[in-house]
Structure formats: structure tokens, C-alpha cells
Amino acid sequence: MKIIVHDFSGHAFTSQLARALAGRGHDVLYASFGGFQTPKGKTTRRDGDPETFRARELVLPEAFDKDNLLRRRRQQIAYARAISGLVQEEKPDVVLSANAPLEVAQAIYRASRSVGSAYVFWVQDIYSEAIERILSKRSRIVGYVAGIYYRFMERALLANSDAAVVIAEEFRSVFQNAPWSLDVSRVNVIENWGIIADVPLLPRDNDWAKINMPGDRPRIVYSGTLARKHNPNLLLELARKLDADIYVFSEGSAPTALAAQAAQEGLANLHVRPWVPVEELPSMLAGADVLFALIEPDAGIFSVPSKVLSYLSAGRAILAAIPGHNLAARNVLREKAGLVSEPGDLEALVTNASRLLEDVALRKRMGENGRRFAERAFDIDNIADRFEGLLGSSCGVRPVQEQRSRVKVVAP
């Protein structure tokens, strides 16, 4: 198959999937938006990549503006034109697209149809719900109208895609019921994963950590995007209440505001740092005593923090302020890989953090539990099997594995 794997964000696990599919002999182009501010995976071609793997980072002439909604929408439309042109130029058998704003997803769908390509919608969040929540905080009427408009667009994409992938079973339940009322027979649940091979177990006081997180005090580390669906005040509360260093590795307006608030309050134990390159991520995660994840309650059903997957791979105990019904929270609790509190319960959050910092044996046991789960669940061969079959059936091509299994061997 000739495949385009498109990830607007350029996450590590999507680029790993693209390489795994190329390793099976498929012609794979990995496309992403180089201007989108988020921790990136291996979004360009590297030494040792499969011969049939290619990568394109698309960029815009101006910096992407996450905070100005009108400018952001204009820039997303410009990006939509660029990625649509790439699809029309490549004419793949199938396009697998993830993390794209709905205008971009719609443009990719139309471009795919114009050249006879199958289109698979990889759903990481219910975007129309998120848009309605965000805009309703400014104007209830604007939020309501925008929600209807974008729900119509998102529903059409789901209904008309050759297949869809969702990252938790809850998505299927939502899409099956009103107001979506969709046939979910072509909606497949494949949970996100971490790249276990890229996160080796390293000592806490590794060389990188000694330089970038100096000192002997306990360390709580947050790594990843701080966006509208997060509450940075939880990080401030940890810094106020704990005798520990709180390290935040992130970029954008929210981390900048967080650093300014910490400075105003004289919180010398809260340190805001830029994102680290993907090659340095294992050293940064290993330097933590506790890894912290958070998400707002109203985003909890639909948004699964991918950073938790890296945390599980790192073998460190997890402190999470995530709704209990969220898939990531359920995984952490089921595997006894950390402690979870509801996002609004500051007392429980601080209590859980204190418990983890004070009990070395508990931290060690929970970190080991998480790593064992990651080693079981994040097998890229098994994951690639599922995607290969799904993509092949979407465009009428049998997976390479199935073709090989049907080869008849005749003894001489």
C-alpha cells in the first residue's frame, strides 16, 4: 500500500507507527505540521529508517498562534491547503489522519476523495465538544452555535470516512447515541501507546538530570503541553504546599503565565523549562521522583493524556489529577502505577503527592508496575498488525502479513 500517515501535532507514537508500516514494505509518507507547538517525535527521516519511509514537515510563513482564535483559524485553513496539495500530489491508497483541526480534517478528506484515496479518521478527541466548551466560556450563544456547526462537520467526517479509529471505548458509546446517532460498526478502538524502546530505564541522578535539575530535594516533573484543557494552578498548589522541586517542561502562553505567577508569589521551587528534544526525554523522565499529569474535568471523558503513556514507560510513579472515568486514570489505578485524584480536589492531590514523596518503597513499586504494563501493552508489532489490517480493508488491499500467510509452500 501507499500510505500517508498524517499527524498535525507530530507525536512520537504516530511516527513510530509510520516507520513500522514502512518496515513491512509499504510506501509510507509521514506528514506533520512543523509549526505546531508541542513536544515532537521523530518527524524527519533518520539514519536506519526503512527505505520506503519518507517524512515531510509542513510549515507556514508565520508563527502559529494558538491563543488568537481568529488568527489560528486562518492559519489552520492555510495549513489545510498545504496538506491537501500534498495528498493530491502523492495520490496514496489510503490516508490515516490524526489530531487535525476539523477544517484541516475536512480538507484532507476532500483531497483524498478527489484522487480516489481511502480516508481513515483517527479520533484523539471530540473536537466539536471541545470547541463548544472553550467558546461558551466567552459567550454561551457563540459556543452553542459553534458547537452545532462543528458537530455537523465532525459527524459528516465520521459518517463518510472509510473507517475511524478512536482511542477509548467511551467514544463509540458517545457516537452511537444522540445527537450523533452514528453507525459505529466501522469505528475501531485502538488505544494510544508509548514508545517503550525509546525510553530506557535510567538512574535518577543521570548526567542530564544533574545539570538540568540540580539538588537533592525530591522532584515532581510535568512534561508536555499546557493548554486550555489543563489547570496550571494545580502546579502552583504543589509548589506552595510541598517541600519539593516542581519542574515543568513546556512552552507557550500558559507556561509563561505560570512562571510569572510563581515569581510573583516567590515560589523558588517551581521551575519552568522549555520542552526537551526527544533524545533527552528518557533522561528527563528518569530524573523525576514522581511524574505529574493533569486534565480538566470537562475534558476528561474525551481527552486521554498521551504523556501518561511516556510516564508508564519511564518506570516512575505517577501523580495524576484526572477524572476517574478517563482511560489514563483507569490504567494507572488498575496497574497500581500511581495515585489519582479528581482535578478539583486540591486536598487529595497534595495528600497523594506527599504520600508518594515520603514512601520510597511505594514509589519504586508503582514505577515498576507501570513499566511492566508498558512492556505488555506497547508492542508496536501488535499495534501495527491492527492498523495494517484496518488500512488494507479500507482501500481493498490485503495486509502484507495476510498475503504471506496465504502463500502455499510446495515441498520439492
CA-CA distance, 304 to 4, in Å (whole number)? Answer: 24
The answer to whether the beta carbons of residues 236 and 270 sit under 8 Å apart is yes
Percentage above 70 pLDDT, the chain: 94
| Domain boundary assignment for the chain | 2-124+161-193+379-405, 196-376
Residue 253 neighbours by CB distance under 10 Å: 13
Q: Is the pLDDT of residue 290 over 60?
A: yes
By C-alpha distance, which of 207, 244, 206, 204 is closest to 357?
A: 244
Q: Is the peptide bond before 399 cis (omega within 30 degrees of 0)?
A: no
Name the architecture of domain 2-124+161-193+379-405.
3-Layer(aba) Sandwich (3.40)
- Intrachain domains 2-124+161-193+379-405 and 196-376 with the same fold: yes
Task: Give the CATH number of domain 196-376; options: 3.50.30.60, 3.40.50.2000, 1.10.260.30, 3.40.50.1700.
Answer: 3.40.50.2000
Q: Is the pLDDT of residue 363 over 90?
A: yes
Asked which of 41-45, 268-272, 307-311, 402-406 is least confident by mean pLDDT, the reply is 402-406
The answer to whether the beta carbons of residues 306 and 321 sit under 8 Å apart is no
Q: With the CA atoms of 381, 385, 388 and 390 taken in that order, what torsion angle do they form, in degrees rounded to the nearest 10?
A: -140
What's at 132, amino acid-wise? E
CA-CA distance, 9 to 275, in Å (whole number)? Answer: 14
Per DSSP (E only), the strands in 239-374 are 245-249, 270-273, 290-294, 317-321, 338-341
Residue 163 C-alpha cell reads as 473507517
Band of residue 305 on the pLDDT scale cut at 50, 70, 90: confident
Residue 82 neighbours by CB distance under 10 Å: 16
The answer to whether the beta carbons of residues 222 and 288 sit under 8 Å apart is no
CA-CA distance, 341 to 72, in Å (whole number)? Answer: 33
CA-CA distance, 349 to 308, in Å (whole number)? Answer: 17
Band of residue 229 on the pLDDT scale cut at 50, 70, 90: low
CA-CA distance, 329 to 308, in Å (whole number)? Answer: 9
pLDDT tens digit string along 323-346?
Answer: 988 888 999 999 999 999 999 899
User: Could you tell me how many residues make up the chain?
Assistant: 412
Residue 62 neighbours by CB distance under 10 Å: 10
By C-alpha distance, which of 139, 154, 231 is closest to 187?
A: 154
pLDDT tens digit string along 63-108?
Answer: 888 778 889 899 999 999 999 999 999 999 999 999 999 999 999 9
What's at 158, amino acid-wise? L
Q: Is the pLDDT of residue 158 over 70?
A: yes
By C-alpha distance, which of 276, 284, 289 is closest to 219?
A: 289
HSE of 180, CA atoms in CB hemisphere, 13 A: 20
CA-CA distance, 14 to 181, in Å (whole number)? Answer: 29
The pTM for the full model equals 0.87
Asked which of 24-33, 75-84, 122-131, 181-190 is least confident by mean pLDDT, the reply is 122-131
What's at 33, amino acid-wise? F
Q: Which residues contact 211 (CB under 8 A, 6 or more apart)?
A: none
Residue 233 neighbours by CB distance under 10 Å: 12
Average pLDDT over residues 38-63: 93
Distance, C-alpha 139 to centroid of its chain: 29
CA-CA distance, 68 to 54, in Å (whole number)? Answer: 33
pLDDT tens digit string along 368-409?
Answer: 999 999 999 999 999 999 999 999 999 886 554 444 333 333
CA-CA distance, 244 to 262, in Å (whole number)? Answer: 14
Q: Is the peptide bond before 179 cis (omega within 30 degrees of 0)?
A: yes
